């Protein structure tokens, strides 16, 4: 004979598992992958996922509980606008990689147009001190011939466009902010799903909280799994790691554009009759 609390436990376990499953949604995974792609420490990568889950939980609980308790109806245009915000965030996370790809293509085009320009090779070393020990870092410059030796040192300055992209600056803060936006976009759909299964507001809100805990755990596990190949590649083949970093950024940029088109054009966010199906 089953104990009296078997049903609540089963519901709690289901909420936990569904929350972990929710963490695997494509837009969630793409966003955190872009943020953690430059991170070389597994612990910090897992922390990025957990922080994303906390941001997601905050908005899901606030908005979802309000929908459950006060029976708030979300207008179609507002619902689409919240989802459109996710598309904007994905584009912002990936725009650095897209811009870098365009810059590289433009650089190659300029280089191919000046192939006949004479090149020179200049090797020299710089002295550096670390922990009291002074040593040299020899390196080579290849470039067009210049009479002035100062020209060989111009590339020691930080070129424009080499600063960390949006996704790489303060990754924990970025992760929390992205989690907030994702939670805001999905809160209505999650709350309506919970209400359809659990009619009592108290139990529905409790289930929502368990669901959010599952999402935090799931995203922590996902980011750990995703970060592992990035770390291995960074240590054994830097060009593969750079390719993964650029690829994740381009994927975020492209998926963000796709979502923006889907929500803005197909779902008629910017027209007189928006069509919103919470998902």
pLDDT of residue 28: 95
Q: Which of 175, 158, 149, 174 is nearest to 50 (CA)?
A: 175
Q: What is the pLDDT along the chain (279 residues), one digit of tens a residue?
A: 344 455 778 888 989 999 999 999 999 999 999 999 888 888 999 999 999 999 999 999 999 999 999 988 899 999 999 999 999 999 999 998 888 888 888 888 887 665 544 445 555 556 655 555 555 556 555 555 444 444 445 444 444 444 455 555 688 999 999 999 999 999 988 998 888 888 889 889 999 999 999 999 999 999 999 999 998 888 888 888 889 999 999 999 999 999 999 999 999 999 999 999 887
- Angle of helix 171-197 relative to helix 42-70, nearest 10 degrees, comes to 40
Q: Which two tokens stand for residue 261?
A: 């088109």
Q: Are 139 and 123 in contact (CB under 8 A)?
A: yes
pLDDT of residue 148: 46
Strand partners, 142: 121
pLDDT of residue 40: 82
Q: Which two tokens stand for residue 90?
A: 């994905």
**In whole angstroms, what separates CA 233 from the centre of its chain?**
19
Strands (E), the chain: 119-130, 133-144
| pLDDT tens-digit map of 152-211 | 454 444 444 444 555 556 889 999 999 999 999 999 889 988 888 888 898 899 999 999
Residues in the chain: 279
pLDDT of residue 171: 87
Q: Give the DSSP H or E segment for 112.
A: helix 76-113
Domain ranges for the chain: 10-109+169-266
Task: Tell me the C-alpha distance between 140 and 146, whole Å.
Answer: 15
CB atoms under 10 Å from CB of 116, counted, come to: 5
pLDDT of residue 17: 93
Q: Which two tokens stand for residue 253?
A: 């940029």
Q: Which of 183, 208, 187 is nearest to 197 (CA)?
A: 208
């Amino acid at each position: 004979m089953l104990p009296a609390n078997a049903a609540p436990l089963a519901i709690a376990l289901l909420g936990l598992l569904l929350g972990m499953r929710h963490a695997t949604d494509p837009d969630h995974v793409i966003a955190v992958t872009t943020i953690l792609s430059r991170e070389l420490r597994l612990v910090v990568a897992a922390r990025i996922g957990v922080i994303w889950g906390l941001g997601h939980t905050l908005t899901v609980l606030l908005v979802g509980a309000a929908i459950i308790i006060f029976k708030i109806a979300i207008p179609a245009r507002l619902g689409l606008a919240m989802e459109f915000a996710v598309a904007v965030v994905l584009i912002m996370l990936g725009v650095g990689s897209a811009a870098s790809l365009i810059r590289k293509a433009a650089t190659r085009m300029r280089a191919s147009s000046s192939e006949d320009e004479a090149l020179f090779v200049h090797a020299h070393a710089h002295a550096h001190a670390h922990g009291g020990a002074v040593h040299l870092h020899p390196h080579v410059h290849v470039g067009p011939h210049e009479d002035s030796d100062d020209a060989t040192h111009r590339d020691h300055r930080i070129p424009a466009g080499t600063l960390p992209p949006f996704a790489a600056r303060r990754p924990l803060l970025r992760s929390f902010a992205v989690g907030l936006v994702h939670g805001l976009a999905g809160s209505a759909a999650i709350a309506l799903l919970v209400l359809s299964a659990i009619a009592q507001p108290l139990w529905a809100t409790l289930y929502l909280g368990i669901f959010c805990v599952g999402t935090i755990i799931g995203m922590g596990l996902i980011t750990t799994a995703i970060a592992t190949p990035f770390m291995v590649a960074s240590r054994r083949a830097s060009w593969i790691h750079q390719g993964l970093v650029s690829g994740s950024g381009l994927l975020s940029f492209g998926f963000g554009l796709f979502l923006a088109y889907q929500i803005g054009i197909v779902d008629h966010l910017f027209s007189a009759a928006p069509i919103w199906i919470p998902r």
